[in-house]
A = this chain, B = another copy of it.
Amino acid sequence: MREAPLPPGGTIGILGGGQLGRMLSTAASRLGLKTHIYSDENDAPAFDVAAKTTIGAYDDEAAIAGFARVVDIVTCEFENVPASTLEAAGRAAPVFPPPRAFAVAQDRLVEKEFISGLGIQVAPFAAVDDIASLKRAISLTKLPAILKTRRFGYDGKGQVLIREQSEAEASLQTIGDVPALLEGMVLFEREISVIVVRGKDGELRYYDAIENVHQGGILATSTVPASIPDDVAYAAREIAGRIANALSYVGVLCVEMFQCEGSSPNLVVNEMAPRVHNSGHWTLDACLVSQFENHIRAIAGWPLGETSRHSDAAMTNLIGDDVNSWPELAAAEGTGLHLYGKAEARPGRKMGHYTRIVPKR
């Protein structure tokens, strides 16, 4: 039996107050839904566009429970929400995406095991707890390889490249001697991602596959369409859908992949994000229904919206001081400018993005 959707006037509680929460909140408002943002920052960007706000620590279970009691649904705009927090929220309100998706995405080792367990190709990997297991891992993955912390990594943080055996010991110290995994290098042609949205009834809808370029571990540009053949695009969708189904996922999920040389499609999954994703920001300007609105529709039990694109798009992030070029970007033709309302342009901080759209080829 299908559950009734959350009607207009209902309130979505969002854990996290960054730019993703901000764009989720304005998307919810299109549908007549209110948002209540929970953040540990005093001046979270999402506070500017929310009906209600709560400032609190993410591990303050009493505060989280109080927050969950006054909203209709709880969702998250970042994946490193503590499991105990999701449980505390879940006792008072439905939580979407399902907490299991966070458990998987928060631990790179669990994530790799989960995805490869679905018969999906990932980079060679092995658990690393100490120098002995690191040496065994190196014999499996070969060098160069990347040592990554199991938890709390994003935008290239918590990673170190090992080129030679002699760097092994130091690399463990660099990441702080925490549980880790070693990943073999994947020689790829290009990085792509797929944004999929899955409804409560299991319906899957996909945005077109995206071609991504990272710089310094941070996403720089996302371009649609990706320059890949149709069979690769189809295979990429199928992988994202298989992961979403296996997690009984509800909401927007992003799966990042490498397209490798060799017999097509040869896709290797890099990682997944159980949330709206930076590589899907172009959907705001090139689709009738953005990834943000489709996430809200899914978790609220609404019919999913259109995912087709009306225009080709290229999104560029504004990192740190890049944002100072806003006057020129505001004047540029065919350019949608998005600024996140962050006061301080620290290096590496995502301050905004812009999307150039052109008619579909």
Q: How far is the CB of A196 from chain B (nearest CB, A)?
A: 19
On whether the beta carbons of B48 and A51 are closer than 8 Å, the reply is yes
A83 within 8 A of B: no
A22 at the interface (CB under 8 A from B): yes
Question: Is B34 touching A29 in the complex (CB atoms < 8 A)?
Answer: no
Kindly state the separation between the CA atoms of A49 and B25 in the bound complex, as whole angstroms: 8
Q: How distant is the Cα of A5 from the Cα of B357 in the complex, in angstroms?
A: 25
With the chains together, A336 CA to B303 CA distance in Å? Answer: 12
CA distance A47 to B8 in the complex (A): 15
The distance in angstroms between the C-alpha atoms of A357 and B305, with both chains bound, is 13
A33 and B323 alpha carbons, distance in the complex (Å):
14
A324-353: CB near B (< 8 Å → 1, else 0) gives 001100110111111111110000000010
Main DSSP-derived SS at the A contact region: mixed
A34–B335 Cα distance when bound, in Å, is: 21
Query: Which residues of the other chain, B, contact A288 by a CB distance below 8 angstroms?
Result: 285, 334-336, 357
Render A304-323 as a binary contact track against B, CB cut-off 8 A, 1 for contact: 01100011000000000001
Q: Which residue on B lies nearest to A35, using beta carbons?
A: B48
Q: A51-B48, A339-B30 are in contact. Are A359 and B8 (CB under 8 A)?
A: no
Question: Is the CB of A31 closer than 8 A to any CB of chain B?
Answer: yes
**Contact of A8 with B339 at beta-carbon distance under 8 Å, contacts A29-B49, A334-B288 already known:** yes
Task: Output the nearest chain B residue to A4 by Cβ-Cβ distance.
Answer: B327
In the assembled complex, 26 residue pairs joining A and B whose CB atoms fall closer than 8 Å, in A order, are: A8-B323, A8-B326, A9-B343, A25-B49, A26-B26, A29-B48, A30-B338, A31-B330, A31-B337, A32-B326, A32-B339, A32-B341, A32-B352, A33-B341, A34-B341, A35-B48, A47-B51, A48-B50, A49-B49, A285-B288, A288-B334, A302-B327, A306-B333, A306-B335, A310-B357, A310-B359
